[in-house]
Structure 1
Amino acid sequence: MSVEPLREVIARHGLSASKSLGQNFILDRQLLARIAAIPGTLEGSTVFEVGPGPGGLTRALLDTGAKVVAVERDARCIPVLAELKEEYGDRLEVIEGDALEVDASGITDGELHIVSNLPYNVGTALFTGWLDGDEWSPFWSSLTLMFQREVAMRIVAKPGTSAYGRLAVLAQWRSIPRIAMKVSRSAFVPPPKVESAVIHVVPREAPEGVSAATLSRLTAAAFGQRRKMLRQSLKSVAGALEALERLGVDPTRRAETLSVEDFVNLARLMDERRA
Structure 2
Amino acid sequence: MDLTDKFIPLIAPEMDIGYAVSLMVKQKAEHAIISQNGRAVGVLSIKDLASRLFLPAEEGIELLEIGNLRNLLKKKCSEIMTRNIVKASSIDEAVKVLREGKFGVVPMEHNNRISVVSERSILQALFNRGDKVVEVSKPIISLEENSIIEEILEMMIAKNIRRIPLRSNSSIVSVVTLFNVIKWIFSKLAEEGYDTTTLFEPASVVAVPIKQYPNISVGEAAKELYESPEVGAIIIDDGIITERDMIKYLNY
| TM-score for the superposition, normalised by structure 2 | 0.25
| TM-score for the superposition, normalised by structure 1 | 0.24
Larger Rg: 1
Higher relative contact order (CA 8 A, sep 6+): 2
Structure with the higher strand share, 1 or 2:
2
